[in-house]
């Protein structure tokens, strides 16, 4: 049987893990970027505002509209 304080610590730890995951997902979705995946499996992120990322993002938006 777990000691009473361990139950509370485990529950709080679970809540903090969930909150941290939520904040990571929230930050990830807030900033716009372009991620390119190569056939080799490597990935590269292009920052927003560059001409290359703007062209790729616009092409993706058009593809989504047609889908």
pLDDT of residue 28: 57
pLDDT of residue 5: 64
Enumerate the H helices of 1-67 as residue ranges.
4-30, 51-66
Which tokens go with 14? 């679970």
pLDDT of residue 35: 86
What's the DSSP call for residue 36? E
Q: What is the pLDDT along the chain (67 residues), one digit of tens a residue?
A: 556 666 667 777 777 888 777 777 766 556 677 888 899 989 988 888 889 988 988 898 898 887 6
């Amino acid at each position: 049987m777990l000691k009473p304080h361990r139950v509370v610590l485990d529950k709080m730890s679970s809540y903090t893990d969930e909150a941290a995951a939520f904040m990571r997902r929230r930050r990830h979705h807030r900033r716009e970027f372009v991620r390119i995946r190569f056939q080799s499996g490597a990935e590269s992120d292009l920052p927003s505002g560059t001409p290359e990322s703007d062209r790729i993002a616009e092409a993706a938006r058009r593809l989504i509209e047609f889908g």
